[in-house]
A and B are shown apart, each in its own frame.
Chain A
Amino acid sequence: MAYMHIGKDFVPPDVVGKVTGRIKYSEDYSREGMVYARLLTSPVPHGRVVNIDAAEALAMDGVFGILTADDVYPDGEPQSPGLKVLTNEPTLVGEPILAIAAIDEKTAETAMAKISLTIERLPFVLDPLDSLEAGGADAYTGGNTFVFREGFAQEKWTTDQVASFRSGNEPTAEAQQSWAYGDLEAGFASSDFIHETVFSTAGYPHMSMEPRSAMAYWENGKCYLHGTSQSLSAIAEEMAGIVGVPLEDFVFINEATGGGFGQRARAGSIPSMAIPAKLSQKINRPVMMRVTREEEFTIGGARQGLQGWIKVGFRANGTMAAMDLYCISDNGGKGGGGDANSAAAGVSALYQTEAMRFRNSSIGTNTGHRGAQRGPGENQIMAIMAPIMDKAAEQLGVDRLEIRKLNAAQNGDVSGQRSEPFTSAYMPEALELAAKQFGWEEKKGRARQTNGSKVRGFGIGQGYHNAGRSGMDGIIRLMPSGRLQIHNGVGNLGTYSYASTSRAAAEVLKMPWENCDVITGRTDRHLPITSPQDGSNSIFTNTRTCYGAAQDLLGKMKEIAAMDLGGNPADYDIDGARIHQIADNTVGMSYAEVAQRGMELGGKYTGEAELPEELNTLTQLSVSRLAGSALMGIYHDPRHNNNPPGFAVCLTEIELDKETGKFQILDMVNIAECGTVVHPQGLANQLRGGAVWGIGLSALERHLYDPQNGLPASSGFWQSKIPTYLDTPLNIGTGWVDLPDPENPVGARGIGEPSMGSVSAALNAAISDALGGHLFDAAPVTTDMIINHLADVSSKAVPLAQNNFRG
């Protein structure tokens, strides 16, 4: 299909601001009389604040006030998991206890030292298995796990059960969560190769480049909050609730977000933004709270670590007959995270196993709070699975690419707990494209070839994420000037999907892009509700809303044209910013004229009547404030059917030096299967960025918590090991299958998360290949692990420990 905008590159409106430094992140704002807040955070991994004596600090010159949990929660803190704004019951080191406002940061820090904090220390735990053990400490007051609708509870195994799992056996304790399909026993019985192992993957922090700083002030009863988010409109209502202000009196300003990766999607994952708002209200001055890197580490979220047991059976021809997965998920200090379930759904989707059982127990630890991080679950498990696939291929004598094609998801396939069909799926095509672009057939013979101390390794990886939602709203306006204003609440965090999804509206109206304005950046520009820009959903979800709103507008335009120029609306079409009769295109109106006419007519044309039912509260508010201002397209998106998958395939070649344990990535291609391509440059960026993240997961990144005292070691970039320019390939090849999905009006599905899983999988497989098929059953595989393996050194480290990941 020939599109005007879809599949074409464009210059997103914010990119010039990014290269000139003019675009503003929350910390770049200032306000007359603004003061600075700093956080006093918990020194202990688990404790209870008994007393706060701030008298001396408050008596200092230049100190304006403090905010404590008692101010935020006058009726007591809610007994629920998740980060609090401030807390008196810290369950991890670094959790904010109070904020202090002063004339500058230095004074605030000095004042902080004068606050006397009395904390009762409580037992803490860093490894879920330690907590599961009878007599092990519980991370939370009231237990080590949270049961939905019931509250905190205690989950314990017998000492033997823990020891047995630790020594590599299938866990025997009953899991908190489980689902299954197919006949597992028959599957294994019919298998010719069965692989069974325990595995562990490390948790690690998001570490977005922009710390989650926020600035707030109050004016005429309204709270203005400059913050950071993955979606302005999805976060607004809940954030207003946390601040304690009616939605109509809350303005959230967020022109640009310095990275989200899952932990700025919902207000609940970033409640710290309420601190400057509350403090500003209390001391009646604008308050800037700059968040430091260490604080960003602590409250910025982290991927869940998984410890688990997996058993996979393959038939002689290479088809996966059965898969049994049991996970212990590290829920960290504040609960939260559903990585294990996504991991299971992911392997089910990618490998189309005939029978599957999934079991999981989620256990808290006094470590960084966990929540969704780019491909939560899927991207860890793919790094474990890919080398197992290669092992099966080797044992069964099947080509490594073929075994993946054999088990690949195709149109008509189903996956997951509910055996839900895909909206469309072209994994074999993606594998083929990747193999072709990479030159798999020509190169694969080089696998395990040595050159001095160096050895080649190849890896094939696949990534998956459920990548599309629906049920959101769209607002667009045709201005009397003839310009199209597309209101979009998707956050601006670097995917450019706030702009690329808006182009679906321009596409419908055949509107030149230079005549379009994307209205975003602050909620008082009146935005419709969007899904949080997480779960790789934006491109699917918000092209639907923008497309729908444009269709609504188009319908109204046709009605107006028919009204004024005669005939039926169906007799009209659009072209060149004009609406005209199909029969005689000289009879028509310019977009400006139709907009002006719409405004004269008012009512439903200007958003003053006949609004779609089920509009979200925020959308209703926005529409009510825009009503009468232009000819409006307003749309509520109905639910879509089936599961829109995002798929990616990566092929890579590495050269691993067996003497240093280091490897270089010689070649890498990362291919997307995400429906119709909407924005090629943006998609390429997702594929490249996902690759860098995949390298981090597979080789570098992990939480480090000192088991002795619960202190985080990886609180800065020094120990967090974000991949650098020199840890990543000189070129990352990209490509896409580009076949439309039927559930999206422009055929698009999401890609952000799968683009990482494909690489974490491929890289782990390549390392394993270079080492002659050795399976680490872990991620990351770090330099020291490779050296230890090659030198036959058995580390004393507990193999399943993920937080203190091999020291």
Chain B
Amino acid sequence: MPATSHDVMPDIELYQPTDEANALELASTLGSDGWLLGGGQDTYGWLKDRNKTPAAMIELTQIDAWKGVKEIPDGVEIGAVTTLSEIAKHPLIQSKFGLLATAASRVASPQIRNVGTLGGNVAQDARCWYYRRGLDCYRAGGNICYADSPEGLNREHAIFGASRCVAVSPSDTAPALVALDATMVVASSSGQRLIPAQDFFVGPARDIVNMTVLNEGEILTAVRLPNAWANAEFYFEKVADRNVWDFALVNIAAAIKVSGGAIEDARIVCGAVECTPRRLDAVENAIRGQQRSEQLAEQVASIATDGARPLNYNQFKVPLMQNLVKRAIRG
């Protein structure tokens, strides 16, 4: 019965490809033995704990083609290994897609943002502490959930879309990307596919082990933000216990297009309430064509949580989510 306090990195190979083809080939060859390494901020804990034991790491941050922010015909493309700090401070992102700049600036801590990448932030693994402790729960390939039970500690867990596993999407940038209708550029040695941000994330009903639809050998290389949502009216807010490091109890990202005083279109997304960023279609539908106002906010907030199924200790997420929706609509 080995139960040790692991704390140092075990032996693992490291590959540092500098060109795309090499990286994709490594990813394909190594398959599940290869761990894709962005900034590594969600990696080293797993490895030090020996709770994940890949044979090799493939570092993606040496590939210049996957770094940086550039304009493309229909918007902006952000390399997947661009750091969160760079995104938060980038003039183009700040001026056109301030929602993402704000979201990126609220991730974890300055040092983590300095190293952590956009790709890593959206592809990070669940933060359920049972899972992080290395327990063999559903998400780890086991047959039980320790959080979803009458006594389980589930204050931080899902109020929507649970299926055996009740972990939530921990990312702050993911809701912003869904709200901005981003497209995820996914490459593999056999080609490239484009996935709408909303479809990039997967819940436990469909895949209880992974949080994204990335297959083995696939790498998220870039994120494209369409001009369609540039300079919309944005709202981002993250509510967490501590204002540094902590993951959101609930966060919200909203992009609202207003013309002639009325809401023309809106995309509103909440994080940390479901295993994937949760798009609030019903709320969006309810506010389209309406004036942005306190009254409207009050009216539609409760729609946001229709169908919520809180666990024992996370009922607060229901009113909190409603309040954040109010704030997003109120503007």
Contacts and interface: CB of A to CB of B under 8 A. Distances in A.
A and B interact: yes
A116 interface: yes
A517 interface: no
Given A38-B5, A117-B1, A784-B155, A659 B146 contact: no
A707 to B, nearest CB: 4
A106 B11 contact: yes
B151 interface: yes
B10 A118 contact: no
A24 B224 CA distance: 50
A708 B151 contact: yes
B7 A109 contact: yes
A659 B327 contact: yes
A724 B316 contact: no
A807 B245 contact: no
A807 B5 contact: no
B136 to A, nearest CB: 13
A718 B131 CA distance: 14
Contacts of A704: 129, 153
A119 interface: yes
A725 B1 CA distance: 41
A711 interface: yes
B306 interface: no
B14 to A, nearest CB: 15
Nearest to A728: B243
A41 interface: yes
A114 B153 CA distance: 32
Contacts of B327: 453, 659
Given A40-B3, A116-B1, A718-B245, A804 B8 contact: no
A721 interface: yes
A723 B3 contact: no
Interface in B236-254: 237, 239, 241-246, 249
Contact of A807 (B8, B244, B313, B318): B313
A294 interface: yes
Interface in A706-724: 706-709, 711, 713, 717-719, 721, 723-724
A411 interface: no
Contact of A783 (B8, B249, B312): B249
Interface stretch (A277-285, A394-402, A593-601, A792-800): A792-800
A783 to B, nearest CB: 6
* Most chain A beta-carbon contacts within 10 A, residue among B7, B9, B245, B324: B7
A118 B3 CA distance: 11
A635 B267 CA distance: 76
Interface in B101-152: 129-130, 133, 146, 149, 151-152
A451 B249 CA distance: 24
A109 B4 contact: yes
A707 B10 contact: no
Interface string A494-538: 000000000000000000000000000000000000000000000
Nearest to B323: A659
A723 B313 contact: no
Interface string B265-278: 00000000000000
A682 interface: no
A110 interface: yes
A709 B129 CA distance: 14
A660 B324 contact: yes
B146 A726 contact: no
Contact of B243 (A290, A724, A784): A724
A793 B242 CA distance: 22
A204 to B, nearest CB: 13
Interface string A779-807: 00011110110110101110000001011
B291 interface: no
B3 A42 contact: yes
A723 B155 contact: no
A311 interface: no
B153 A807 contact: yes
B153 A721 contact: no
B316 A784 contact: yes
Contacts of B10: 106, 109-110
Contacts of B7: 105, 109, 290, 292-294
B42 to A, nearest CB: 12
A807 B149 CA distance: 12
B319 A717 contact: no
Interface in B39-63: 50
A806 B156 CA distance: 11
Nearest to B2: A113
Contact of A94 (B5, B318, B326): B5
Contacts of A788: 315-316, 319
B316 A661 contact: yes
B149 A708 contact: yes
Interface string B295-315: 000000000000000001111
* Most chain B beta-carbon contacts within 10 A, residue among A112, A660, A727, A796: A660
A39 interface: yes
A700 interface: yes
A704 B2 CA distance: 23
Contacts of B320: 660-661, 784, 787
B2 A115 contact: yes
B5 A295 contact: yes
Given A292-B7, A807-B153, A797 B313 contact: yes
B133 to A, nearest CB: 7
A43 interface: yes
B153 A804 contact: yes
Contacts of B151: 706-708, 804
A791 to B, nearest CB: 3
B193 interface: no
Given A41-B4, A42-B3, A109-B7, A790 B319 contact: yes
A41 B245 contact: no
A256 B266 CA distance: 57
Contact of B3 (A41, A713, A787, A804): A41
A315 interface: no
Interface string B154-198: 110000000000000000000000000000000000000000000
B152 A706 contact: yes
A726 B312 contact: no
A806 B155 contact: yes
B89 interface: no
Contacts of B237: 660
A806 B319 contact: no
B51 to A, nearest CB: 13
A294 B5 contact: yes
A390 to B, nearest CB: 25
Contacts of A41: 3-5
A117 B326 contact: no
B6 interface: yes
A725 B244 contact: yes
B312 A706 contact: no
Nearest to A804: B153
Contacts of A117: 1-3
Contacts of B241: 700, 721, 782-783
Contacts of A40: 2-4
A662 interface: yes
A662 B323 CA distance: 12
10 contacts: A40-B3, A41-B3, A294-B5, A660-B324, A711-B133, A721-B246, A724-B245, A726-B242, A784-B155, A797-B312
Given A38-B5, A717-B245, A718-B129, 19 more contacts: A40-B2, A43-B1, A109-B4, A109-B7, A115-B2, A116-B2, A293-B7, A659-B324, A659-B327, A700-B241, A709-B146, A713-B133, A724-B242, A788-B315, A795-B313, A796-B313, A806-B155, A806-B313, A807-B152
Interface of A: 38-43, 94, 105-106, 109-110, 112-119, 290, 292-295, 453, 659-662, 700, 704, 706-709, 711, 713, 717-719, 721, 723-727, 782-785, 787-788, 790-791, 793, 795-797, 804, 806-807
Closest 9 CB pairs of A and B: A807-B313, A43-B3, A791-B319, A726-B243, A659-B323, A807-B155, A724-B244, A784-B316, A112-B4
